[in-house]
């Protein structure tokens, strides 16, 4: 299934949530969809939560210690 089909299905689900439960239900379904999407991406390995970001420029300079001797 491609992104167009998933997007259409999500739009239909959100529309039904709005009609059935109002704005609160719409927001709740949207939040659950986002959480489910992130969980699915982590589960399949498409989102790596162990990836380390690079430190800001100059951040390591204070950690360098020079031994005198």
Q: What is the pLDDT of residues 14-68, one digit of tens each?
A: 999 999 999 999 999 999 989 888 888 888 888 887 867 666 565 555 555 556 6
Is 26 part of a structural domain of the chain? Answer: yes
Q: pTM of this prediction?
A: 0.62
Domain containing residue 30: 22-47
Is 31 part of a structural domain of the chain? Answer: yes
Please, what's the b/e burial string for 40-69 (b: 16 or more CB within 10 A of its CB; e: otherwise)?
eeeeeeeeeeeeeeeeeeeeeeeeeeeeee
Is 32 part of a structural domain of the chain? Answer: yes
Count of domains for the chain: 1
Is 35 part of a structural domain of the chain? Answer: yes
pLDDT value for 58 = 59
pLDDT value for 28 = 92
Is 10 part of a structural domain of the chain? Answer: no
Is 38 part of a structural domain of the chain? Answer: yes
């Amino acid at each position: 299934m491609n992104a167009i089909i998933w997007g259409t299905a999500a739009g239909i689900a959100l529309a039904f949530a709005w009609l059935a439960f109002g704005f609160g239900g719409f927001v709740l379904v949207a939040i659950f969809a986002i959480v489910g999407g992130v969980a699915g991406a982590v589960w399949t390995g498409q989102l790596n939560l162990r990836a380390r970001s690079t430190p800001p420029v100059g951040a390591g300079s204070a950690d360098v210690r020079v031994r005198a001797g």
